[in-house]
Amino acid sequence: MESRGLRPLMAVVIWWWWLISPAVSDPQTNLLNQGCSTYNVTNLSDFYTNLNATFSDLETQLNNNKLFDTAERTRSGDSVYAMVQCRNYMSAEDCLACFADAQSLIRRCGAANGARVIYDGCFLRYESSSFYDQTTLAGNAPICGNDTASQVTAFQSAVEGLIADLEVATPRINRFYAAYKMEVVGGGGATVYGVAQCAETASQTACQECLQVAKSNINSCLPSKNGRAIDAGCFLRYSDVAFFADNQTTNITPFLQKGGSNKKKAIIGGVVGGVGIVLIIVVLLLWYRTYRSSRKAKLASTGDLLGVTELQGPVNYSYNDLKTATRMFSEENKLGEGGFGDVYKGHLKNGKIVAVKKLFIGQTDGAKANFESEVKLISNVHHRNLIRLLGCCSKKSELLLVYEYMANSSLDKFLFGKLSSSS
């Protein structure tokens, strides 16, 4: 009788303890990647004002239960564009905690004009120019676990199927996010868990292309029990241990079907074009093997470039755009002249101020080829003590170089000759 009387009381006590006990928090701040630009800002005061403002805006949005947002300050001084993204299975509190940790770490980059921090739970990046549509950059790579699965064949088959489904479904899902799990057939009841996510500012095509690269990277982790693939605008992860709750699993089945196709026509088309498809697949496999080999060799020689921002190569500017930007290369916009050409101040359509130099060199085919190869080389040289070459333009006999504009008559220190005037 006493035990029966205690049962309701114990139930009440357990319920009350569950109600008042704090929820388990996990901001998932396992660091995957961080990097600072080697190029510093020119105006520290404006830069830090803008950086603090963008981070404050991001924090405000996260406090409003958002898991993704962008913010920018471009009105004065050095512009700052920023983005934060938490995994969609994160709670609002854990997302804020992850952001706070990322913000503290990214500020160690000091006056760098670009930086990023990638955790398991969130991603934070800022740059001096807009990057919101970027998804894939050089340096994308897998991060693999050290433990190997016991049932190698069954586990590898399950992971490959899981990743393939996430790659297809995620770009078709609103907000470009999916969390999914799959049973390991013949694995003694084991399950694999996976998450795929793209930046919400990316296009569907860009998301798909990014996840294709991520899938290739992460599959190289097998038969490791867990793996991740990181890139500028997407994230892919699998594990044999659950890292999101069962009730947060995404139903991706409707997004795996290719709507609007007729099954009968597809079968006929497959039979008729079967031979051609086989030939195409063989060619693609040969090309892909060559591409992967050269890409791995390139990554091995250059190191982790994902941690170095703004290495995007030269921009091929339109001659008409540069002509408009410099007001027809007017004397009013002329900054000066040197031994190899005249320099003009230009205002591009996006508001960026640049210095445009018209070169005086021989106009042979060899000179033009040397010009283009030198531009490709110099445009990827970044150092705080060097002015940055943004790109070039070649139109008939006109060869133009586009540099970052530096105010206060400092251009003459860099543009190959003393300038006679300033603007």
Please write the tens of the pLDDT for every residue from 245-272: 999 999 999 999 764 333 333 333 443 4
Sign of CA dihedral 50, 56, 58, 64: negative
Model confidence band, residue 311 (pLDDT cutoffs 50, 70, 90) = very low
Rounded to an integer, the average pLDDT of 208-225 is 96
| CATH 3.30.430.20 domain range(s) in the chain | 31-127, 137-258
Please state the pTM of the whole predicted model: 0.60
For residue 285, is pLDDT > 60? Answer: yes
Residue listed under structure tokens 């007001």: 327
Q: What percentage of the chain's residues is helix, strand, coil (to nearest 5)?
A: 40, 25, 35
| 233 phi/psi in degrees, rounded to 5 | -135, 15
Model confidence band, residue 415 (pLDDT cutoffs 50, 70, 90) = very low
Q: Kindly give the residue spans of alpha helices, DSSP state H, lying in 303-364.
A: 319-325
Average pLDDT, the chain: 80
Is the omega angle on the peptide bond into residue 223 within 30 degrees of 0, that is, cis? yes
Pull the structure tokens for residue 369. 């080829």
| CATH 3.30.200.20 domain range(s) in the chain | 315-413
Domain 315-413, what architecture? 2-Layer Sandwich (3.30)
Ranking 197-206, 208-217, 292-301 by mean pLDDT, the lowest is 292-301
d(CA 41, CA 158): 48
User: Percentage of the chain with pLDDT > 90?
Assistant: 49
Can you give the pLDDT at residue 412? 47
Q: Which fold has domain 137-258?
A: Killer Toxin P4; Chain A (3.30.430)
Model confidence band, residue 341 (pLDDT cutoffs 50, 70, 90) = confident
Task: Say if residue 352 carries a ligand binding annotation.
Answer: no
d(CA 174, CA 204): 10
CATH for the stretch 31-127: 3.30.430.20
Geometric angle at alpha carbon 421, from 418 and 423, rounded to 5°: 120
Cα dist from 356 to 41, 168, 289, 421, 422, whole Å: 20, 45, 42, 15, 13
- Per mean pLDDT, which of 3-12, 139-148, 264-273, 313-322 is the most reliable? 139-148
For residue 16, is pLDDT > 60? Answer: no
Can you give the pLDDT at residue 413? 47
Rounded to an integer, the average pLDDT of 141-163 is 94
Can you give the pLDDT at residue 283? 57
For residue 87, is pLDDT > 50? Answer: yes
pLDDT: is 301 or 346 the higher one?
Answer: 346
Rounded to an integer, the average pLDDT of 108-118 is 95
Ranking 23-27, 142-146, 186-190, 318-322 by mean pLDDT, the lowest is 23-27
For residue 167, is pLDDT > 50? Answer: yes
For residue 398, is pLDDT > 60? Answer: yes
> Cα 117 vs. chain centroid, distance in angstroms?
11
d(CA 402, CA 131): 20
Can you give the pLDDT at residue 10? 56
Can you give the pLDDT at residue 305? 41
